[in-house]
Amino acid sequence: MKTFKFGGIHPNENKLTSVLAIETMPTPKLIAVPLAQHIGKPAALIVKVGEEVKKGQCLADANGFISAAVHSPTSGKIKKIDQHPHSCGKFVKTVFIEADGKEEWAEGLNTDEIDFKELSSQEKLKRVKDAGIVGMGGAGFPTHVKLSPPKDKKIDTLILNGAECEPYLTADHRLMLERPDEILKGLLIIASFFPKDLKVYIGIENNKEDAIKLMIAKASSYGFEVVALKPRYPQGGEKQLINAITGRTVGNGQLPFDVGCMVNNVATALAVYEAVCKNKPLIERVLTVSGAAIKNKKNIKAPIGTMFSDIVDYCGGIESGKMNLLISGGPMMGKAQYSFDVPVVKTTSGILFIDEMKLAEKKERPCLRCGRCEEVCPLNLKPILLANLAQTNVEQAQEYGLSQCMECGSCAFVCPSKRDLVHWIKYAKIMNANLAAIAKCKLQGS
């Protein structure tokens, strides 16, 4: 069975919610929509406090080339616009909408299904851009930018990412089971941007056998090939998935289109379908609510901007005294949260309520020089070297491939001394950015 070449780990899967159907969560009374939900510049606000907005109405426009629009997930009145905690850990400008419960769609949105073949390539791209679609696997790269690669790069392989290698998360798995036709149509729309001889693969990890069977049955009529992959983390990473399916290696500083590939997530394909065929902006997403400390584990479809506290209420509350750690995203790459007042954003693939004391009570010990972190690094880096350089000589860390690290956390997971390798690498990245900013200031000053 296929898998990627270097490194990787296989943590306990803990897919507790894989048999639970997706439930649609009712819109809560107060919705908080952050303006930065993607990589790139935050969107530029176009509404004012006190204004009445309809469902799907644009709240903020894409600001610059790499940016994405943000839409209202419900109809109601804008209560305030203020800095608010975001799941990235920082304060971000956020639009608070008081829902009126009418759920009225703005004009021309959420129409009956149309055939995408009637639309030109330009129109399709415009619809994707206007819908504010970003990569929903976690990174949040604006999809309209991805769909218009530089002219000199020829894309010959399109991959649908259904790997979902993070433990606990089952949102993509459920989507593939419940809405396969729409996902495949979305994939067809993405494929229609590229030449006819495009080879399309659907990569699914072997621990989702029902999804693989269903996809093989459905995809044959479209001419797509389903590839079953050996479960291994971080298979869902772009570079790893390309390596696993096509055998090509995305080198240092290269992007997937440099090797003629493009990878899109299952949820992104669905969003593209809804945007192009139904003119429906990205205002809701499917996410997994799991972990031992939440009473009812669920896969839910929640409006973007739903506070975590509302989701806790919807899922029956927290088991008293068990809760130890709140994570937005998967346990490997997700971020620990300090507040329940954080809203769901376009890239929130799950919310985990962890009870394990092990995670919270870990103690850092000196490095044993065992080399396990180097063995598991999917990018062939030397994590302990980078972490040590972060503490001694941050600039030198660049020479050892600091910027290539995707912070997958495999090294910190296997470290027998429980060293904070990923955090040190993140630290080195910000310190380098600071140094560069200071150097730039000095250059401009002189």
Partner 1 sequence: MTAILIPLLILSSLTFVLGLCILFASKKFYVKTDPMVDTVTAMLPGANCGACGYPGCAQFAAELVKTRDSSKTCPIGGDDLSYELGRILGITMDAAKPVSCVVLCNGNETTTKFLADYKGIKDCWAVKEILPSVKQCAYGCVGLGSCIASCKYDALEIVNGLIVVDSENCVGCGACIDKCPQHVLKLQEKKARKYHVACVSVDKGGVTRKYCSNGCIGCMLCVKACKFDAIKVENFCAVIDEEKCVNCGLCAKVCPVKCIPLTKYVMAPKKAPPKIEDSCDGCKVCHPNETGENGTLGY
* H or E element at residue 189: helix 180-191
**DSSP assignment of 271-321:** HHHHHHHH---S-EEEEEEESTTBSS-EEEEEETT-BHHHHHHHTT-BPTT
Per the CB < 8 A criterion, the answer to whether 167 and 332 are in contact is yes
Q: Position 111: which residue type? A: T
Q: Which is nearer to partner 1, 1 or 439 (CB)?
A: 439
Q: Which is nearer to partner 1, 111 or 434 (CB)?
A: 434
Rounded to 10 deg, the angle between the 421-445 and 383-392 helix axes is 50
Both structure tokens of 320: 């008293």
From 12-20, 144-152, 282-290, 425-433, span contacting partner 1 (CB under 8 A): 425-433
Question: Which residues, other chains included, contact 128 with Cβ-Cβ below 8 Å and sequence gap of 6+?
Answer: 143, 144, 147, 272, 275, 276
Based on the shown chain and the rule CB under 8 A, indicate whether residue 441 belongs to the binding site for partner 1. no
Rounded to 10 deg, the angle between the 171-178 and 209-219 helix axes is 40
Based on the shown chain and the rule CB under 8 A, indicate whether residue 125 belongs to the binding site for partner 1. no
Both structure tokens of 131: 């819908």
Q: Per CB under 8 A, which of residues 402..421 are in contact with partner 1?
A: 420
Tokens 């002219």 sit at which residue? 151
Based on the shown chain and the rule CB under 8 A, indicate whether residue 350 belongs to the binding site for partner 1. no
Question: Binder to partner 1 among 6, 105, 400, 427 (CB under 8 A)?
Answer: 427
Based on the shown chain and the rule CB under 8 A, indicate whether residue 423 belongs to the binding site for partner 1. yes
Residue 33 dihedral angles phi and psi, to the nearest 5°? -105, 110
User: Cβ of residue 396: shortest distance to partner 1, in angstroms?
Assistant: 17
User: Cβ of residue 427: shortest distance to partner 1, in angstroms?
Assistant: 4
Q: Which is nearer to partner 1, 368 or 430 (CB)?
A: 430
Q: Which is nearer to partner 1, 92 or 262 (CB)?
A: 92
Based on the shown chain and the rule CB under 8 A, indicate whether residue 222 belongs to the binding site for partner 1. no
Q: Per CB under 8 A, which of residues 273..332 are in contact with partner 1?
A: none
Q: Is 201 helix (H, G, I), strand (E, B) or coil?
A: strand
Q: Is 254 helix (H, G, I), strand (E, B) or coil?
A: coil
Question: Binder to partner 1 among 52, 64, 82, 91 (CB under 8 A)?
Answer: 91
Question: Binder to partner 1 among 181, 253, 338, 445 (CB under 8 A)?
Answer: 338
* Sites of contact with partner 1 (CB under 8 A): 85, 89-91, 335-336, 338, 360, 362, 420, 423-424, 426-427, 430-431, 434, 438
